[in-house]
Amino acid sequence: MSTPTIQTDAGREGWEAIVADPATAVISTDFDGVLAPLVEDPAQSRPVDGALDALARLARSVNQVAIVTGRPALVATELSGVTGHAGLGQLVVLGHYGLERWEAASGRVTSDPVPAGVAEARSRLPGLLRELGVPDAFVEDKESSLAVHTRRLADPVGALETLRTPLTELAESTELRLEPGNLVLELRPPGIDKGVAVRRLLESTGARSILYAGDDLGDLAAYRAVEEQRKAGLRAVLLATRSSNATELIEAADIVVDDPTGVVTVLTALSDAIAAR
């Protein structure tokens, strides 16, 4: 398979570094919108055909393969179907933006403590949604954070704007932070994002190169963390899908694909290049 179109010199250097020395490389991807198509019901999310096989093939050569997601680690593990998948015995899932870590080798989850503000926000949120006239907004309780989705509503964009300021105020009053996404607003602990997760991943592995794949605004923090490490000599490939139409992420990417099937194509091309080196 031919090398995908890489739009930047830094991306080409990152690709070449991973191919030349995969044992010091990390492959990390988001789940929703990257390995799995976006769906109205988050509980129905599943990876596209070939996604896990592509990760497993890379896992034979690279230092670490990881899924970095805002979902709880065990939920992402169950939905992705990675448990027991041949070739993914060393996979790591960083859930809740790195607050949780699940390792396939042990099947165990380790977690940072959850701030008290999450419980307070949980108790206040239903009443607030009723007051705002959007009681049917779907609240995804991730235990360590709360995501309010408007995708299922008649006017999802209008509902999102209705919620933005009140949820910002709720976040501030409970010492949480409001993070926007694709038709979702998430209340989460401060200091927890995918940038923190990626930095921890790089530190724990001592990686010299990384491919990070994302699709929405929640992945910008990971992109920024990678860009910071590039200044210190890290070689990297930033891959984006158009799943969420996150313009800022797409403009910052080295490689852009339409959807999770495109991600599989890129990962397969990378493993082919490693095998042919």
Q: Are 130 and 105 a contacting pair, CB within 8 Å?
A: no
Task: Encode pLDDT of 229-250 as tens digits.
Answer: 999 999 999 999 999 999 999 9
Where do you find CATH 3.40.50.1000 in the chain?
A: 9-112+193-276
Coil/strand/helix, residue 103: strand
Residue 221: both structure tokens together: 């923090």
Residue 70: which of 172, 176, 193 has the closest Cα? 193
Residue 260: both structure tokens together: 């999770």
Proportion of the chain above pLDDT 70, given as a percent: 100
Confidence of residue 78 (pLDDT cuts 50, 70, 90): very high
- Annotation: CATH topology of 9-112+193-276: Rossmann fold (3.40.50)
| Angle between the N-to-C axes of helices 260-276 and 51-59, in degrees from 0 to 180, rounded to the nearest 10 | 30
CATH top-level class of 116-188: alpha beta
Where do you find CATH 3.30.70 in the chain?
A: 116-188
Q: Torsion over CA of 197, 201, 204 and 206, rounded to 10 degrees?
A: -140
CB neighbours of 150 closer than 8 A, spacing ≥ 6? Answer: 134, 137, 138, 156, 157, 159, 160, 163, 183, 184
Q: What's the chain's average pLDDT? A: 95
CB neighbours of 158 closer than 8 A, spacing ≥ 6? Answer: none
* Pairing label, strands 92-95, 64-68: parallel
Residue 69: which of 106, 32, 38 has the closest Cα? 32
The whole-number pLDDT of residue 263 equals 98
pTM of the predicted structure, to 2 decimals: 0.84
Question: Cα separation of 157 and 54, whole Å?
Answer: 35
Instruction: Say which DSSP state 38 is in.
Output: -
